[in-house]
Amino acid sequence: MPNSLVAQQLDRETGFVRQLLAAVLFLLPALMFAGFLSWRVVRDARAVGLARMTRCGWLLGALAFGLPAYITYRLTRPNVALALCQACGRGRRVDRDVCHHCGRGWERPVLHPPAWRVVSP
């Protein structure tokens, strides 16, 4: 069978290493784009204050699935309010007792209602 796929592979003059190199060069832009998206996901997840294992999961998901995983992360990421940490000067989550960047606690201000406030009976 001179025209079969196996015969054509044996008749090729290029070696396995050259074919592998051509395939990697062909896939390199897609791999770099997936790496860039996963870097963006991890950076944003760290800023928002997600746990380490959650960040690792999103990193692996973005590396494996690329753009669909990045879009899914952006649509499902927690929308939290950030306040300025007095210890490190970075944004910290107000729903936690310690800063997720420096680990220092903070004193929540006690909110007293004003004396003139009208209370309905």
Domains contained in the chain, number: 2
Structure tokens, 29 = 């832009």
Q: Are residue 45 and residue 70 in the same domain, yes or no?
A: yes
Query: What does the pLDDT average to over 37-60?
Result: 93
Judge if 70 and 87 occupy the same domain: no
| Statement to judge: residues 73 and 85 lie in one domain | no
Q: Which helix (H) or strand (E) holds 101?
A: none
**Structural domain includes residue 6:** no
User: CA-to-CA distance for 13 and 30, rounded, in angstroms?
Assistant: 28
> Do 38 and 18 fall into the same domain?
yes
Q: In which band, very low, low, confident or very high, does the pLDDT at 91 lie, cut at 50, 70 and 90?
A: confident
pLDDT over 70 (residue 79)? yes
Which phi and psi (to 5°) does residue 39 adopt?
-65, -40
What pLDDT, on the 0 to 100 scale, is given for residue 42?
95
Task: Give yes or no: residues 18 and 31 share one domain.
Answer: yes
pLDDT averaged over every residue in the chain = 84
Q: Which domain holds residue 24?
A: 11-77
Domain annotation covers residue 120: no
